Amino acid sequence: MSTAMTFGSKSFKPRAPDKGAFPLDHFGECKAFKEKFMRCLQDNRFDNSECRLQSKDYLECRMENQLMAREPLEKLGFKDLMDPPASQEGKDVKS
């Protein structure tokens, strides 16, 4: 008797991958961004804090090409690298 028969009608239900797991870039859509990021890491002794711009660009590429779920960049730790909203630009300068 096989084990499949002993469990009865229960069937396997696939689920979405956990956060952080995403499809591979089989078509190389973000390869240039990945290479730039990897080069930056090598040039900076693998100190990823020196390569945050390249990391941000790579993740943006992955989101644009549906290789990962779209997330606000602020939520991914890039709040300090975001451009200020147009309504706040120039607010510090008063006539």
CB atoms within 10 A of CB 68: 19
Q: Cα separation of 81 and 91, whole Å? A: 19
Alpha-carbon 43 to chain mean position: 22
pTM above 0.75, yes or no: no
What percent of the chain lies above the pLDDT cut of 90?
45
For residue 23 the two structure tokens come to 């499809």
pLDDT of residue 41: 96
Note the pLDDT tens digit of each residue in 14-49.
665 566 566 788 899 999 999 999 999 999 999 999
How sure is the predictor about 95, in pLDDT bands with cuts at 50, 70 and 90? very low
13 pLDDT more than 80: no
- What's the Cα-to-Cα distance from 71 to each of 23, 31, 64, 66, 68, rounded to whole Å? 16, 20, 11, 11, 9
Interacting residues of 53 by C-beta distance below 8 A, sequence separation 6+? 81
At 48-65, the pLDDT tens digits run: 999 999 999 999 999 999
